[in-house]
Structures are given as structure tokens and as C-alpha cells.
Structure 1
């Protein structure tokens, strides 16, 4: 480093493993021994690092190693979905310490849902202290800086709600809110792909369809937070299905879990849930498999356009429907490789989620951790 490193920057060196002894910190930063000692002492006092077992000796007394203390605080997280909400407490490495899944009708609105989520956090905390931040993923377009929901896909009663002050009135810590698929994409990328690639398209196929875009290693939100709203891109030959947004044949209305159930019922199948569809697929029911594969083709039509536009290294398919139905994934692959450009698909991979349902929890935690442990936050605040 060309200038004197701050305490926050020293913490980043320790967290990354780039410098884990006082001597290494001095060599990397150019700080004097007293300056290193001062910064390390502050981090120890704040509980953000601990002194580990003595490291290997190169002659003389072995150096004491410094290690990031993931137990130095907790993060409250919740990933709200149309049918299922995941609520957890995570440590400062993003690992869940306690978790529960709830069936919550998010369309009941924030006055009902947010108190229920906060009550659940209180129960999961069970007397634990050290809350440093809150992360929330919601199925809506979110103006990230303000934490305001601008357009809700499945919960219109939330539109225009500024969420952070509501939660901060009970948990007075930084509160970050983002679109549900954005946080899933962040979790999937950071925990499963960051060492391999910087450009990823995550597509969630569940009750509804949405996408999160990782470009150059960072989430792409767009000017108003609406990047990734592929669910409302129309497809050809969709049959004239009216979407809840008012347009016809949006991919959300013809290829989502809700659309698959509707189409099978129209064909006389007795299906009340995606589990019923799964049973028919596993039984080899030809008509059901054809419906699911056609949904995959329609989704593939939209993803092919996104591949040509964004040129991701990998398309990750997640959500209940993608995880349940291989015929849908096969339909996506068929159309994407046929309709995307040869260059964009030269090394493109299309694969299932590596993290599975836990990606939303992980993404919410990392979103908060990146903020509260940033050099700027560490240097501008006292112990969390």
C-alpha cells in the first residue's frame, strides 16, 4: 500500500489472509511497528479478530497469528418469497447459527409480515447480543440506497414502502434491503463461483420468475433497481395469457410454477401443488413432461436474449421449479444454445444452483457483512 493503512484496511488484510501476523501487516502496509500494534489492539478490543495459535517459526520465537473472529457479532437475515420465507441469524462469515422457514402470505402487507419476521428474530436470538446489521430480500423491485420497494411482483401492498426505518426502530443497526433474486445471486456467486468467474446470470424459477445479474463480480441493479426483471419479457406463441402486469404472454405467466399448474389443470390433471407435478414427472407421465419442457423452452427464449446481451460465463437455474424438474432445464438448454450467438455460448455453462434454498440467506448475510465490515464502516464507527 502506498499510504498508511487504516484499521479497517488492516482488518481486510486479516480477513482475506493476505497478512495474518503483525510483521506481515507491517511489510504489506509499510506501517511502523507501533502503528501496527495500535491498529491490531483496536481490532482485538472490538472483538473483530483473535490471536490464534502461534505460527511456524523461522528462527527464534514463532509469531502470533491473527484470525478474523466470525463470532464477533451476528447478522439478522430474512429472504421473503411468495410462498416461503427463510429467517436466520448468521455469524460474521455468513454462516447460519439458527434458522427457520415459515409459510407467510407476504401479500398481507408489511404491517403484518415485518412484525412476524422481527418476532422470529427475537426468538432465534434467544438472548444473544452483538447484532451488527439486518439484511432482507423481498420479491419486489427495490431502490437499494433507500431500501424502498418500488414495484412488487407478488405483493402490491408493499409498493412504495421504506423498510429500513421500520426494522431499525426495533433493531437499531444498519438495515439493508434488496430484491430477493439479487441476494440469491450474490450468495450463489460469492460462495460457489467467485474463484472461477465474475459474470453470472441467476434465474429463479418458482411461483414467479426473476433474475439476478452479477457483472464484473458485482450485482447489477440498474438505474432504478429494475435490472433482472426478466419475468415480464413476453415470449412468442404464449397463447395469449394475460399477465398480472397487464401485458400478454410474459414469461412469468407462461413458464413459472403457477403457469405449469394452470396449464396442467386445463388439461384435466388433478394437481394442487408443485409436489403433485413432481410425482407425475417421476412417474414418466408424457403429457406432464411435455408441459414442463415447453415451459423450459419459453424460459429459454428469454434467457437466450439475456445471454446475447450480458454474455455471462454461467447461467444458474434455481428456485423450486428449476430444482424439481429436469425437463424444464433441458428445455432451457435446448433453446439457449440454439438461439444465442455462437460467441456468447462458446464456453457458456447452464447448471443448477450449487447452494440450493440456502442461497438467499447467505446473500442477505453477505450484503450486510460487506457493509458493516468495510474499511469505511470500521474506521467511522465504534465497536458494533
Structure 2
């Protein structure tokens, strides 16, 4: 006979601690039956039964089909109800935006992407996001009343505690803009804002190549360059939320190489997408690349993907451009590898579409400049999730916050966090 649930009063203290522990084991898939929950958590059978029953009563977990028997009666599997709510997610890049809806397990239910200039400013940018969100919510009546939160990724430094961008180099007008407050007021739910590379790292860690890897670096090579750090299974944001901003680390002492941040010699100014396009246009103008010169003569703009296509066709100038960019990025990553010792480096972003030549150059530089022990088991690979990583990671960011000890107790007795605003 099942042990009855404890009285339905406000959940706090040790009861909340154990409830969060059980919920996280079930929703992560680490434990799928009550006996597994007990073994993984170290909690006694009675406490496990009580906590599971509380989660079932509140609609977060259900009993599913029977699991395999280990000699006695087959246990009933537990399943996290990922369909209980939805998360709105948006990821801004320098030249694009993607918006989507995920379930509570990070699975994308809808996804829309379009070109967008982040320099248009926060008012125009967030107005467009709201239009996309509204269209997606209206597309399926099943979403009505199920919105639990919103996750936002921005291409610049973000103070995570406040959800405000802080002096972002490529985002004029965004400094200290109240992104969280605007969207929270508009949709009546909690909102979290982070650097887009952090959400990408989280997406890869939870649903991509980084699953079950405790220490990894996600590197986005787009118009700019940034890194998201997963350390011992946790996203490392740093004291103010700006950890991993490797694009603005100086790699040369050359006053002629001026970065958009105002400093000189930054990695981004030498190996980012805008830098590759700049150097490619120069190669075309000087006649060093027949393929790029033909594009220039036809009036076409040249970007890193054009360089990649020309390199695959054997254009020597383009091969040199990609090799040099990859070498510079790899040398910077070698410093991180020696310092941080990850098991995996994932390369993503628009310039990652440049293909194997770029990846090969990065690998060679990392292995050449890093300590042998640090690279003994190191993998360096392209992102399998590509442009979905940021949206999925934004969804995970929201659910991780909602199901944290600090947040869960404030809303679980209502059954839903709708209307629960972030603490100021």
C-alpha cells in the first residue's frame, strides 16, 4: 500500500530539498523508477514514495509503463511531464535572430529564423521578437495557458542576475536595457537573459554532442567569437556573467588591427566572420583570388561561406584565409585547454559552415600548443545541433531556473509558475 502524501502545506526546508532532488533525477532521465530514485539519491523508500506522489499530484511526473523486473514485481516507470508547459526562446546573433517554442525538456516544437541586424536596437528587435512569439503561440490552441517562461540569448555581455546587457560592443542602444522587465510584463511569466554562447553551450551539453561530458567548451565563430564553458556539469558564467568572452582577448600587438570593442589586436578582429570577409574582399580587390574577384565583379557581397566554397574548389588565397583564421583560433583555444582541461571542444556558429579546412587548422594549433596530457583524450568537433543549440539551451536555462530550489517552492503548490515574476 502506498504511503500517503504529507499534508498539502507550503513546501520548504528539507522537504523541498528532497523534492527538487527527486524531480531533477526523473526529468534528467538519471532515474526512471522509484527504486532507481532511491539508489541515485540515497533517500529512504518512504521519502521517495512521498516525494514522487507529491510530484504526481502537482502534474509534474506520471506513472508510465512497467519497467524491467529485477526478480520481484516489475516497477512502474516514472516520466517527467515535459508537455505540462512550454517555453518561449529567442536567440539573437549579430545578423540574425531565431525564435522558438520548446517543451519543458528542451525539445523544439516550433522554430523560426530570419536575418536581423542587432544594431537596429532593443525597441525594434524586441518588437519583432514579440511578433514572432505571438504568431507561434497563435498557431496552436494547445499552447493556451501553458506558457511557463521565456529564455533570451544576446550576442554580448549580460549581467545574469539582472538580465541586462552591459556595454555590448556590437549592440548600440542595448546597454542596461530592461529586456527581462519588458518581456515579463508583456507575457506575464518569468524571463531569463544570458549571452547567446552560454545558451548554445547549455543546449549542446544537455541535448547534443556534450551529453554526459562534464567539462566542455562551446566556441561560436560567427561575426564575433565567444565561448561557453561547462565546468563539472555546470555552466560557468563568472562573477558578473561575462566568462568566455575570448573574442576580445588580444593575440597580437598591432595598433592597425582595431576591434569593434575599441581595443586593438583582438581575436575577433583577426579571425571572426567579419574579419574573414574583410580579408576576402581585400584578396578579391588585389586579384589574389580569382573566385572572389569574380564575385566582386558581379557586385556580390563576400562572406566566410564564399571563402569556404572557393577553398573547396582549390582557391589558394581562400585556403590560406581559412587556415590562418583557424590557426589563430586554435592558438587561443590552446591556452584554454592548458588552463581548463576540457574533454570536448564544440565548434559552432555561421563560420563553422566553412567546413573541414577551418576545423583541421584549429585542431592542429590546439594539439601543437597544448600540453600532451591536456589533449590526450580531447575531442574537437563541429556542433551537431547547429542553429538549434541556442534555442534549446535557452529553454533549458528557463527550466533549470524554474525547477531550482530557489524557485520551485514559490510556485509548485499552484501547479504552474505562470504569473511568477523573477525576484528583483
TM-score by length of 1: 0.90
* Distance in 2 separating the partners of 1:122 and 1:220: 32
Shift of 1:57: 6.4
- 3-state secondary structure, aligned to 1:222: coil
1:125-274 alignment runs, 5 A limit: 125-126=137-138, 127=141, 128-129=143-144, 130-236=146-252, 240-267=256-283, 268=285, 269=293, 270=296, 271-274=301-304
Partner of 2:396: 366
Partner of 1:114: 126
Q: Structure 1 16/220 Cα, relative in aligned 2: closer, same or farther at 3 Å?
A: closer
- 3-state secondary structure, aligned to 2:372: coil
* Distance in 2 separating the partners of 1:32 and 1:339: 55
* Distance in 2 separating the partners of 1:24 and 1:140: 42
Partner of 1:296: 326
* Distance in 1 separating the partners of 2:313 and 2:321: 14
Contact in 2 for aligned 1:313/1:348 (Cα 8 Å): yes
Q: Structure 1 287/123 Cα, relative in aligned 2: closer, same or farther at 3 Å?
A: same
Unaligned runs of 5+ residues in structure 2 are 1-13, 286-292, 417-424
Partner of 1:280: 310
Determine if the alignment matches structure 1 residue 88 to structure 2 residue 104.
Answer: no
- 3-state secondary structure, aligned to 2:84: coil
* Distance in 2 separating the partners of 1:18 and 1:332: 34
Partner of 1:66: 78
The one-character-per-residue Cα deviations of 1:85-117 (angstroms, maximum 9, x if unpaired) are 110000011001111002122111111111211
Shift of 1:54: 4.1
1:28-107 alignment runs, 5 A limit: 29-30=43-44, 32=46, 36=49, 39-55=51-67, 64-107=76-119
Contact in 2 for aligned 1:238/1:254 (Cα 8 Å): no
* Distance in 2 separating the partners of 1:46 and 1:233: 48
* Distance in 1 separating the partners of 2:378 and 2:77: 41
* Distance in 1 separating the partners of 2:240 and 2:79: 39
Q: Structure 1 14/200 Cα, relative in aligned 2: closer, same or farther at 3 Å?
A: closer
* Distance in 2 separating the partners of 1:151 and 1:235: 22
Q: Structure 1 101/60 Cα, relative in aligned 2: closer, same or farther at 3 Å?
A: same
* Distance in 1 separating the partners of 2:276 and 2:172: 23
Q: Structure 1 237/334 Cα, relative in aligned 2: closer, same or farther at 3 Å?
A: farther
Shift of 1:259: 0.8
Partner of 1:352: 382
Partner of 2:415: 383
Query: Which 10-residue stretch deviates more, 83-92 or 262-271?
Result: 262-271
Contact in 2 for aligned 1:251/1:299 (Cα 8 Å): yes
Unaligned runs of 5+ residues in structure 1 are none
Contact in 2 for aligned 1:186/1:363 (Cα 8 Å): yes
Q: How many aligned positions are there?
A: 380
Q: Could you say what the CA RMSD is over the residues aligned between the two structures, in angstroms?
A: 2.5
Query: Which 10-residue stretch deviates more, 208-217 or 337-346?
Result: 337-346
- 3-state secondary structure, aligned to 1:98: strand
Contact in 1 for aligned 2:31/2:37 (Cα 8 Å): yes
